[in-house]
Amino acid sequence: MTAVLERTAPPLAARGWWAKTVAAARYEYLMQVRRPAVWLVVIGLIALRCASPFPPGFTSTTDHSTLVADWAFNFIMLCPIGVGAVLADRVRREARLGLDDLLTSTPTGIGPRLWGKAVGAGAASITPVAVAWVGLLGYLTAQRGAGVIPVGLAAFAAIILPGLVFVVACSVTVPYLAGPVLYRLGLFGYWIWGNMVGPRYGIPTPAGTPFEAIGEYPSGAWFHGVMFDAKQRGVHPTGGQAVLSIAFPLLVGLAVLVITQFVLTKRSPS
């Protein structure tokens, strides 16, 4: 009996920030990854774009780098919209269910809950993308040999992941201000304007510059992948520009999360 009552782990209040964040992230991950909408939307959008891959004919190239980079470009074109859409309603979920007061009374503070949501729910929303990418690499490996695997993993990390992390960070913070409905429309507008409306339209846009989130610069600089808006600007990206193009969305995402934590902490009654 005594053994049963003995604590095997310290109470949550006594644990550190990191342990609380990991616990929150684990729960958010499991909650999000089990939603059918997450898989349906993200896989659906990837399948929609890959049904007619761009640029035409790239699948017959013999260069592994170009092949995986162009597939990565097809993945990143549509799926961030789906990732953002399924994440946006996580932000006010606790308030909608009337759980805010209960959560505020627990020793887990605002910081661990926010970062746990970002890491856990974000990772869960990216999971279908990773699963689809692994499936594609398996198919390409069967066709071209195991040499595709390291290039494929590098392309995922350099082309697909930074944009998705940026969208995740915005999707678990901006809806606090805008609400999920307006945010989804805003995200869609941003994704087109900031990544696909090139200079030819005459509208000022980051598309085709290192400050876009679609991974064109790493694709062109390191993998000889397709260039679209950057090509219209006459840019041949360097390694430094590619690093900047990866660092920018990651740093903006980090800044958005830190600012949101600061604002929520200031507004908290406890």
Partner 1 sequence: MDVNRSIWARLRLELRVIGIAPPVTALAATLGGAILVIVMHATGAGADQLNLAAGAVLAGFAPLGTAVAASSIVGRDSGAELVMTTTVYRQVLFLRVGLVVAPAALVTLADAVVFRSLNAWPAGQGTGGYVLVWAPPMLWLVALAMLIAIGLRSPAAASGLIAGVWLAQYLMARDILDNTVLRTQFMFMGVAAKVPAHEWTVNRIALPAVGVVAVIAAGLLLGRPERFVGSDAA
Kindly list the residues in this chain that would bind partner 1 in the complex (CB under 8 A). 35-37, 40-42, 44-45, 48-49, 52, 54, 77-78, 81-82, 84-86, 88-89, 93, 97, 179-182, 184-185, 188-189, 191-192, 196, 201-203
Nearer to partner 1, 132 or 151 (CB): 132
Nearer to partner 1, 15 or 49 (CB): 49
**What is the rounded radius of gyration, in angstroms, for the C-alpha atoms of the chain?**
21
> Is 189 exposed, middle or buried, given 0-12, 13-18 or 19+ CB atoms closer than 10 A?
exposed
Taking the complex as a whole, how short is the minimal distance between the CB of residue 187 and partner 1, in angstroms?
8
Taking the complex as a whole, how short is the minimal distance between the CB of residue 70 and partner 1, in angstroms?
14
| Burial profile 69-78: b = 16 or more Cβ within 10 angstroms, e = fewer | bbbbbbbbbb
Taking the complex as a whole, how short is the minimal distance between the CB of residue 84 and partner 1, in angstroms?
8
Taking the complex as a whole, how short is the minimal distance between the CB of residue 61 and partner 1, in angstroms?
20
Nearer to partner 1, 85 or 159 (CB): 85
Nearer to partner 1, 193 or 211 (CB): 193
CA dist., res. 34 & res. 26, Å (int):
13
Taking the complex as a whole, how short is the minimal distance between the CB of residue 161 and partner 1, in angstroms?
19
Which of 32, 68, 37 lies closest to 168 in space, CA to CA?
Answer: 32
CA dist., res. 166 & res. 164, Å (int):
5
State the DSSP code for 156: I
